[in-house]
């Protein structure tokens, strides 16, 4: 990368901001999961309201899908409000739901693994191994739900850190980022 002699303050600011946020996310996994829970709760309330409004706009059509939209809308609003009121509960419930999903999927995959037998013994064995890993992961998550918040923190924090470092590097070597400088 060629150093042009110009400096991009915006890229430096964005990079430092991303690095600081990534450090916060990596150091505070419980806060990260709570923040995500609150954001998802707000989204659930907003989506629920949208579905309820849509029902009342089109209620003269009276279809099963429209009634289901109303029911789902009411459930989303209720769940969103409950989760906003008790975000700790929401974070725990979320981890258990993911654990149950993994366990159910692992069991389902084990039950249906016979369908991949025609593809060959190697594929069949890999399918069994992955199903058992999924099942084990679900059981571990069910027994230790806080593992989910650590995983989410790593999945969010590490890419933020990498992106922040890239922006800092670009601030010194690539002033055209964000439209500064002229293209050659």
Residues 33-47 have pLDDT tens digits of 888 888 888 988 999
pTM score above 0.75: no
Residues 125-182 have pLDDT tens digits of 988 999 899 899 889 988 888 777 778 888 888 888 998 898 888 787 765 555 544 4
Contact 94, 126 (CB under 8 A): no
**Phi and psi angles of residue 55, each rounded to the nearest 5 degrees, phi first:** -60, -50
CA–CA separation, 164 vs 178, rounded Å? 15
Q: Please give the DSSP secondary-structure letter assigned to residue 25.
A: H
> How many C-beta atoms surround the C-beta of residue 8 within 10 A?
23
Strands (E), the chain: none
Q: What is the pLDDT of residue 23?
A: 93
| Rounded alpha-carbon distances, angstroms, from residue 109 to 8, 106, 115, 123, 141 | 52, 5, 10, 13, 18
Average pLDDT over residues 98-112: 83
């Amino acid at each position: 990368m060629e150093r042009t002699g110009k400096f991009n303050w915006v890229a430096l600011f964005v990079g430092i901001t991303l690095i600081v946020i990534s450090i916060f996310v990596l150091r505070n996994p419980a806060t990260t999961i709570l923040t995500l829970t609150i954001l998802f709760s707000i989204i659930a309330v907003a989506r629920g309201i949208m579905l309820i409004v849509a029902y009342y706009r089109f209620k003269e059509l009276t279809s099963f899908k429209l009634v289901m939209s109303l029911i789902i809308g009411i459930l989303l609003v209720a769940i969103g409000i409950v989760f906003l009121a008790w975000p700790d509960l929401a974070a725990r419930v979320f981890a258990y739901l993911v654990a149950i999903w993994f366990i159910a999927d692992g069991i389902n995959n084990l039950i249906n693994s016979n369908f991949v037998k025609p593809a060959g013994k190697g594929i069949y064995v890999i399918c069994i191994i992955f199903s058992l890993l999924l099942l084990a992961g679900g059981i571990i998550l069910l027994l230790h739900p806080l593992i989910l918040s650590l995983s989410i923190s790593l999945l969010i924090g590490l890419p933020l850190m990498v992106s922040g470092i890239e922006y800092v590097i670009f601030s010194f070597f690539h002033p055209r980022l964000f439209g500064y400088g002229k293209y050659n």
